[in-house]
Structure 1
């Protein structure tokens, strides 16, 4: 009964990982046999200014998008979990960005960010403020991508928090109301600890998403200007498919997987005494 799942995992997970590891340790020119290179590809990564720039960009990208998306998702879930008229419409509005395809969402924001006809610059012009080339400026290209990601992912994470909130026992909430009339106290001492498993799940997924962004970059900036918005997976895509360098792409893949594994291990270690499933 486990065989179908094992076959799929082996074909689409374990075998590609092994292939990337093999490519990272070998060099192969088109039409020539591969030769063992050892750690030469990883040494080249350390000397690669584009890789260092992409790594810095991705770290900033994750440090901003992950906590903001999680906090915003929790706030939206707490809001739509209450009883009032129009709650269903508000849930729909929050969740709508999630169901949009990545490319479609990026094209919507491309219209917002357009320097001449974009909605943001038209609003600024109405206020008498000069417009800005949001995606063409090295100082604003990466923050503009962060805004798109937060808008796209917060509604998705809200669904998990909403399901977790609705699964909390009403007896516990009633006991918390008797203990303290303060809503902030109940949230901090009762609700948030009960949501800890969901928070861990959401944070890990948000972190993985922060390191696997390609679609938005391909539509909005293509890593520009001057690599100001290049992220690791987009750089990997360029190395593997644009420059056809499988060995260098394999080394970059191994580094990216190791970075994700390290971040996940740190998260689980930090939350080991705070996440309780029973």
Structure 2
């Protein structure tokens, strides 16, 4: 009897119990992540089914169409510009804000709340707020420039400024989110490090550059991975602010993918764009984790 009880609670039963607990999460992960990724990869080699005409194997034709598509390359250039601006600006601004609200200053709690507030707002709400700022003639930005005697300008309707305007919105939205991670990391640092630096006569800049910044590298790597992903999945505020215009000046990859798949209903071509986007993001993430991770100090 005791042997049966031992067998029923042995390693095998524990493993079965563990897998049963993981089963709901595994089913959801496979159903909504892994299988859609595999299905998208397969669909990228077929034509788009239309009406009674089923999908047929076309090989690399969708990828060739992507290479020959000028709008796709315009979206790639826009997205690279968008990422090159939002990633360093949002991370740098988040770090500055975290360093500031980590000090003992008056109104510190209010500042933390003010910096974090944009993060909890839906992107659609944020875009509508900034749409009012950018509106010609009576927008807040127009009121400020008018008070300075500057001429009126259609910020979202000008190809020279449309992409910069949506970039500002993304930075404003993300900086507070990244600030929380930096602030949490700063509060875990040993206070004796600051005391030792003060005894040695180190300036605040020297203390940051020699002590704080190296110790914040694990957090920076984590924030960098999220910033890169966010830069290539931005689409919400494009719908509200510009819809990719004018003349595709603010079209990003994910918005172009949406237009191809749901506006023009070319799902096969959209699948090919999705595969390329996933491969690029996976390559960047692997580079960050396996190359940049070697430069990170965890102690």
> Helix, strand or coil for the counterpart of 1:198?
helix
Residue 59 of structure 1: how far off its partner (Å):
0.4
Q: Which residue is 1:259 aligned to? A: 280
Residue 37 of structure 1: how far off its partner (Å):
1.3
Provide structure 2 residue ranges, at least 5 long, that are not aligned to the other structure: 1-20
**Quick check: 33-42 or 198-207, which moved more?**
33-42
Residue 182 of structure 2 is aligned to residue 161 of structure 1:
yes
Number of equivalences: 278
How far apart are the structure 1 equivalents of 2:201 and 2:231?
Answer: 38
How far apart are the structure 2 equivalents of 1:243 and 1:116?
Answer: 34
How far apart are the structure 2 equivalents of 1:174 and 1:12?
Answer: 51
Residue 269 of structure 1: how far off its partner (Å):
4.1
Residue 176 of structure 1: how far off its partner (Å):
3.1
What TM-score results when the alignment is normalised by the length of structure 2?
A: 0.90
Contact 1:74 1:158 survives alignment (8 Å) = yes
Q: Which residue is 2:240 aligned to? A: 219
Contact 2:221 2:293 survives alignment (8 Å) = no
How far apart are the structure 1 equivalents of 2:291 and 2:210?
Answer: 19
**Quick check: 33-42 or 219-228, which moved more?**
33-42
- CA distances 1:20-68 after superposition (whole Å, capped 9, x unpaired): 1011011133122221111111111010000000000000000000000
Contact 1:180 1:186 survives alignment (8 Å) = no
- CA distances 1:125-176 after superposition (whole Å, capped 9, x unpaired): 1111101100000000000001000111101100000000001122333333
How far apart are the structure 2 equivalents of 1:131 and 1:110?
Answer: 16
> Helix, strand or coil for the counterpart of 1:136?
coil
Contact 1:65 1:146 survives alignment (8 Å) = yes
Residue 257 of structure 2 is aligned to residue 275 of structure 1:
no
**Quick check: 1-10 or 173-182, which moved more?**
173-182
Counting only pairs closer than 5 Å after superposition, residues 128-277 of structure 1 correspond to structure 2 as: 128-277=149-298
Contact 2:87 2:228 survives alignment (8 Å) = yes
Which of 13, 16, 20 pairs up with 2:40? 20
**Quick check: 75-84 or 174-183, which moved more?**
174-183
Residue 29 of structure 2 is aligned to residue 9 of structure 1:
yes
Contact 1:196 1:276 survives alignment (8 Å) = yes
Which of 67, 83, 92 pairs up with 1:62? 83
Contact 1:74 1:161 survives alignment (8 Å) = yes
Q: Which residue is 1:117 aligned to? A: 138
Q: Which residue is 2:72 aligned to? A: 51
Residue 122 of structure 1: how far off its partner (Å):
1.4
Provide structure 1 residue ranges, at least 5 long, that are not aligned to the other structure: none
Residue 227 of structure 1: how far off its partner (Å):
0.2
* Root mean square deviation, CA, Å: 1.2
Q: Which residue is 2:53 aligned to? A: 32
How far apart are the structure 1 equivalents of 2:199 and 2:31?
Answer: 55
What TM-score results when the alignment is normalised by the length of structure 1?
A: 0.97
How far apart are the structure 1 equivalents of 2:58 and 2:201?
Answer: 65
